[in-house]
Amino acid sequence: MSKRIVFTGGGSAGHVTVNTALIPHFEKEGWEITYIGSEDGIEKEMITEQFPHIPYESISSGKLRRYFSWKNFSDPFRVMKGVVDALTVIRKTKPDIIFSKGGFVSVPVVMAAKLAKVPVAIHESDVTPGLANKLAVPFATRIFTTFPETVHSLPADKSLCAGAIIREELFSGDESEGKRLTGYYEEKPVLMIMGGSLGARKVNEAVRGNLTELLSRFQIIHICGKGNIDEAYTQKGYRQYEFIKGELPHYLAMTDYVISRAGSNSIFEFLALKKPMLLIPLSREASRGDQILNANSFVKNGYALKLEEEELNEETFLKKVKELQENKETMIHNMDKGQKAYTIQDMYEELSSMSR
């Protein structure tokens, strides 16, 4: 009889991409897979699009807020309903293990798993656990972290630094295919700029304000976010994209430098591919500060440079880009000798050994 696993996690792409990296391996090994997510979260779109054959079960979930809102009084009841919903799915599917990537929707699933006596593995991407994972920790059997420093703030008897779980397809990129797609055949290095799924207005402005100088040094792939392409900029060597999906490995294969936000999944992918990076983390006003801590960790290990959003302007941006070029070899050397992350196979074996 085949084994069964339930994946959960949602609310942002970062809470889903690790699951989408693991799912194909479990499928290949013959496991029966179910995904539990919210009715209208990004996880439903991502999972049903990539894995339309996998059962997707929607449950109720409340948002966990660190600020005052009247919904804070009603959402605990939504979470309680979510526990009942999740328990119904778990009893129906009878999983041998549950893997949670975090996000609000995962909390009732982890709680229900404890009631059903199903082993639960949590994966935490950031330096400090998000609120959802903090709430889920007491119900977890094992907690995997991406950053080694995260383990110190978690129960020592069930926490383990596994590093990032990297999508295997990223290593299959073809540089010549990337050149064909972009038409970039000059000797100048390629600079990829990524502002996140919504783009980053200040980053986009800093790039375009320095475009003449940047194009004297680089060929540029600018992933500027939905609705942020500016048709006024048509210079040779500068290509704009709202986003890049399946062809991303080819673009990364030809890339020499990356400028990016500091979401954990993305920056560990760049680390695995040995791409020197300039990180511009989301400010504390726009987030809980996790990207700043992620960037600080990479700077400390010599993998990246950092530019705070509050300090970002055309002048500081160009200065940091020049510094990035100057430090390329040192960064690649540091990446080569850095801590090696778990492979997909390593994580598969860990989770298999936990299953009941």
Domain shared by 177 and 145, yes or no: no
Residue 306 and residue 157 share a domain: no
Place of tokens 């100048």: 188
Q: Is the pLDDT of residue 1 over 80?
A: no
What is the identity of the amino acid at 122?
Answer: I
Quick: pLDDT tens for 11-36.
888 889 899 999 999 999 999 999 99
Q: Residues 212, 245: one domain?
A: yes
Structural domains counted in the chain: 2
Q: What percent of the chain has pLDDT over 70?
A: 94
Tell me the average pLDDT across 226-248: 92
Residues 65 and 120 placed together within one structural domain of the fold: yes
- 324 and 345 belong to one structural domain: no
Average pLDDT over residues 200-215: 93
Q: Taking the CA atoms of 351, 352, 353 and 356 in sequence, report the sign of the dihedral they define.
A: positive
Q: Which of 72-86, 92-106, 127-141, 304-318 has the lowest mean pLDDT?
A: 72-86
240 and 305 in a single domain? The answer is yes
| Same-domain pairing of 276 and 146 | no
**Which range of residues forms the domain containing residue 190?**
169-336
Are both 160 and 208 inside the same structural domain? no
Do 192 and 213 sit in the same domain of this protein? yes
Phi-psi region of 103 (alpha: psi -120 to 50; beta: other; left: phi over 0): left
Alpha carbons 163 and 176: distance in angstroms, whole number: 30
Q: Are residues 152 and 250 in the same domain?
A: no
Which CATH number does the domain housing residue 52 bear? 3.40.50.2000
Contact yes or no for 37/56 (Cβ under 8 A): yes
What pTM did the predictor assign? 0.84
Tell me the per-residue pLDDT of 304-338, one tens digit each, with 9 for 90 and over.
999 999 999 999 999 999 999 999 999 999 999 98
pLDDT at 66 exceeding the cut of 80: no
pLDDT at 164: 85
Q: Same domain for 254 and 178?
A: yes
pLDDT at position 70 is: 47
Instruction: Give the per-residue pLDDT at 65.
Output: 47
**Cβ neighbours of 137 (radius 10 Å):** 17
Is 173 found in the same domain as 161? Answer: no
Question: What is the rounded CA–CA span in Å between residue 182 and residue 35?
Answer: 36
